[in-house]
Amino acid sequence: MAGQRTDRLQTAGRRVCVGAIAGARGLNGDVWVKSFTAAPEDVAAYGPVSDAAGLRRFTLRVVGHGSGGVIARIDGIADRTAAEAVKGIELFVERAALPAPADDEFYFADLIGLTAERADARDGNARDEEAPDESGRLIGRVDEVHDFGAGAVLEVRLAQGGVAMVPFTREAVPAVDLARGRLLIKPLPGLLAPAADSESGDA
């Protein structure tokens, strides 16, 4: 969204993926970590992380920076063989451990699962403005949030079937109401036409 940062964090229940181990670096157990946080070093800022299943916990210490991520050391991993064994593991923290976003900023994880409703002229442009709750306004549900490099895009599962890809801009999405579990979408021409169904969970 123009003038707005949306952190690229995905959710698994109430845990949030902050990064992924991309590979080993050197011989002493260091790893490359692809960070999904606004500041790459924050991948290690929220305490121990766990794998997607929540069965393995890791304590990270950032020791360097690289393109798109950081170099980290993990407690208990002291050689390249051990570092290579954890390649590909996604790193999660509890959602409650993350700081509250600033005004007009949203974590991807908080957008997933919101009900999408049709906006009308009475809803105004304020993101948190309370809007009338009328029948017949249901569009669907936000299944995923993607960022392909040109800004965030909502993948909306339409109530009538299929999916629509909605740019997360103020023009298309004039209001987000996390307290009520919904966001409003303006029915711009062609915006809510079903697209090819998506099975991707990546953002």
Q: Tens of pLDDT along 38-47?
A: 789 999 999 9
CA end-to-end span of the chain, whole Å?
Answer: 16
List, in sequence order, every residue forming a beta bridge with 74; answer none if it has no partner: 60
Give me the pLDDT at residue 31, please: 97
Beta bridge partners of 20: 34, 90
Q: How far apart are CA 74 and CA 3, in angstroms?
A: 36
Q: What is the mean pLDDT of residues 54-60?
A: 94
Q: What is the pLDDT of residue 193?
A: 74
| Three-class DSSP category at 156 | strand
CB contact at 8 A, 80 and 29: yes
Q: Which helix (H) or strand (E) holds 111?
A: helix 108-111
Query: What pTM does this model have?
Result: 0.62
Average pLDDT over residues 166-180: 91
- Look at residues 17, 97, 46, 35 and name the one whose alpha carbon lies nearest to residue 72: 35
Asked whether 143 and 114 are in contact (CB, 8 A), the reply is no
**Radius of gyration for the alpha carbons in the chain, expressed in angstroms and rounded:** 19
What are the chain's domains?
A: 9-96 (2.40.30.60), 107-185 (2.30.30.240)
Is the pLDDT assigned to residue 5 strictly greater than 60? no
pLDDT band at 66 (very low <50, low <70, confident <90, very high): confident
With cut-offs at 50, 70 and 90, classify the pLDDT of residue 110: confident
Residue 187: what residue type? Answer: P
Average pLDDT, integer, range 49-74: 92
